[in-house]
């Protein structure tokens, strides 16, 4: 997968896995990593799917309707890429914390839904429920931050609560943060994520 890796200057720190929104690139979320933890490793990945020229992490059939088969395939592909990247760049595969926005948050949530050890934790900015009707792995206290907007037309507030409930049923430790805004990622939400990150 197209990506960039930046080694942090503190070997005890995790690796932040940056996952952009639809139409983004691996450059987009670099400022977030600076805010969340400037000393961590950064692995920023570009989605392998193109929708009218816009990079994404998996195909969709329509707005808010995912191509489930492709989602499963791309989730596996990303998980395997993380295994390979950990070898190549010599970081601890067990210390990967995802930071995703929108489509990138959705594939991060899908990693949590499908693989027990894929992520040590996750910051999900405006995620949706990636799949329904499946049994999640035991997430065993995995810390998850969900940033949601009370007026988000893409991720209605009910869906953010549903995602929280599904992850909590799988024993994840979820913090749901609300902004009285829409789908945009605000600096107050990023700051809330930074403060949450300091507690995990
Ligand atoms: C998705 O397709 O993953 C969601 O609708 C969010 C987005 O617009 O990327």
Neighbours of 76 (CB within 10 A): 14
pLDDT score of 24:
98
Measure the CA–CA gap between 41 and 37, rounded to whole angstroms: 9
Task: Determine if ligand 1 sits within 6 Å of the CB of residue 64.
Answer: yes
Each residue's pLDDT, cut to its tens digit, for the chain (200 residues) gives: 999 999 999 999 999 999 999 999 999 999 999 999 999 999 999 999 999 999 999 999 999 999 999 999 999 999 999 999 999 999 999 999 999 999 999 999 999 999 999 999 999 999 999 999 999 999 999 999 999 999 999 999 999 999 999 999 999 999 999 999 999 999 999 999 999 999 99
126 is catalytic: no
* 130 in Cβ contact with 106 (< 8 Å): yes
Task: Determine if ligand 1 sits within 6 Å of the CB of residue 61.
Answer: no
pLDDT score of 146:
98
pLDDT score of 162:
98
Fold of the 3-197 domain: Rossmann fold (3.40.50)
Measure the CA–CA gap between 174 and 160, rounded to whole angstroms: 11
Measure the CA–CA gap between 57 and 29, rounded to whole angstroms: 15
Helix, strand or coil, per DSSP, at residue 121: strand
pLDDT score of 133:
96
152 is catalytic: yes
pLDDT score of 107:
98
Measure the CA–CA gap between 154 and 51, rounded to whole angstroms: 17
Task: Map out the domains of the chain as residue ranges.
Answer: 3-197
* 81 in Cβ contact with 1 (< 8 Å): yes
3 is catalytic: no
Task: Determine if ligand 1 sits within 6 Å of the CB of residue 110.
Answer: no
């Amino acid at each position: 997968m197209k990506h960039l890796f930046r080694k942090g200057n503190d070997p005890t720190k995790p690796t932040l896995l940056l996952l952009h929104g639809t139409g983004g690139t691996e450059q987009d979320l670099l400022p977030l990593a600076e805010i969340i933890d400037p000393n961590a490793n950064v692995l920023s990945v570009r989605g392998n799917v193109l929708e009218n020229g816009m990079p994404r992490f998996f195909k969709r059939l329509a707005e808010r309707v995912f191509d489930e088969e492709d989602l499963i395939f791309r989730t596996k592909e990303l998980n395997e890429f993380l295994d390979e990247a950990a070898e190549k760049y010599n970081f601890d595969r067990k210390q990967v914390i995802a930071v995703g926005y929108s489509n990138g948050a959705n594939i991060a949530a899908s990693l949590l839904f499908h693989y027990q050890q894929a992520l040590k934790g996750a910051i999900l900015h405006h995620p949706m429920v990636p799949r329904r009707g499946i049994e999640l792995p035991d997430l065993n206290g995995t810390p998850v931050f969900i940033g949601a907007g009370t007026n988000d037309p893409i991720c209605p507030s009910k869906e953010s609560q549903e995602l929280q409930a599904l992850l909590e049923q799988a024993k994840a430790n979820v913090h749901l943060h609300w902004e009285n805004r829409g789908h945009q990622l605000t600096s107050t939400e990023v700051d809330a994520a930074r403060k949450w990150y300091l507690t995990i």
